[in-house]
Copies of this chain bind each other. A is one copy, B any other.
């Protein structure tokens, strides 16, 4: 751990906690955006994740003692969770991967830690992280799309998350992009963006088509391994394999067109692409930007850049620390004193 340097006056620390399905990432971050310490604990999803909040609290108390950080130096805790939440009440309606349902997580963690806590959806937290210290630096109007197993989105307007009336704004994975004959999505609809341009979607399209492309590199790979990953698809595309290139083109077409639509709605300064699939870099972004331009407007395209995310897996925990810094600055202890 780097020693915390006290310059003029007190340096306040923010604790970011990014709860994932297998790991909980935590970090201490100063108001100046300096990460002074990072650590992880495993996520225990037994019995509908009932020990998770206590595990988080115990770990924070241990680290605080080990590094001799005083309570008065900590502004509070920002907590990112995968699921449908109510930011104002600190309530989680549903976090499928963790087993939580209708859970007052903020109040419980506040009582355990005697620190103010603010919660946010994990994709939104990642967007805030990129805005603060990553690819979105100084962009107050931006969209962050995370391409992983699913597709998550975070929309930032005037420097903070756009939540909408019931906290569902920016559910970009569930934009209907294929109106006829689309694959079924986990959400119950068909033709969602997530069924095509996520790692899962690209793998699905590859497996569906591979036996009709016995000339392709992907076919040979499939014969050998018995499976195809989205990474395989991008690697084969980079080697010029026609079938793999067609799959990448599909994924880029639907994502690029959806981002074009999004840009006509929001006119953002920056669109940031993150998550595992974004490791494909230009192999993905080159066709994507072409399709983006085709479905946007020149004046909007001219003032918008499309960039790859910079913070990788740290985006969430950094965004959570930002939440502590910004939202608790305004509301510090207000709900505690109620």
The residues of A with any CB-CB pair to B shorter than 8 Å are: 84, 141, 155, 157, 162-172, 174-176, 179, 187-189, 257, 260-262, 264-269, 294-295, 297-300, 302-304
Question: Whose C-beta in chain B lies nearest to the C-beta of A262?
Answer: B265
| Number of copies of this protein chain within its complex | 2
Q: Give every chain B residue within 8 A of A262 (Cβ-Cβ).
A: 265
State how many angstroms separate the Cβ of A9 from the closest Cβ of chain B: 31
Select A267's contact among B169, B188, B264, B304, beta carbons within 8 Å: B169
Main secondary structure of the interface of A (DSSP, over half): loop
Q: Once the chains are docked, how many angstroms separate the CA of A191 from the CA of B302? A: 21
Contact between B172 and A162 (Cβ–Cβ < 8 Å)?
no
Contact between B266 and A297 (Cβ–Cβ < 8 Å)?
no
Known: A179-B257, A265-B175. A165 touches B141 (CB 8 A): yes
Q: Once the chains are docked, how many angstroms separate the CA of A264 from the CA of B173? A: 9
State how many angstroms separate the Cβ of A144 from the closest Cβ of chain B: 13
Q: Once the chains are docked, how many angstroms separate the CA of A162 from the CA of B164? A: 13
Q: Once the chains are docked, how many angstroms separate the CA of A171 from the CA of B84? A: 29
Q: Give every chain B residue within 8 A of A174 (Cβ-Cβ).
A: 264, 297
Contact between A297 and B168 (Cβ–Cβ < 8 Å)?
yes
Select A268's contact among B141, B164, B189, beta carbons within 8 Å: B164
Which of A165, A168, A265 has the most B CB atoms < 10 Å from its CB? A265
Q: Give every chain B residue within 8 A of A269 (Cβ-Cβ).
A: 165
Q: Give every chain B residue within 8 A of A168 (Cβ-Cβ).
A: 264, 267, 297, 299-300, 303
Select A265's contact among B166, B172, B300, B302, beta carbons within 8 Å: B172
Sample 22 A-B pairs with CB under 8 A, ordered by A number. Answer: A141-B164, A157-B162, A163-B267, A164-B267, A164-B268, A165-B268, A165-B303, A166-B267, A166-B303, A169-B265, A170-B265, A171-B267, A171-B300, A172-B264, A174-B264, A175-B261, A175-B264, A176-B257, A176-B261, A187-B297, A188-B298, A189-B297
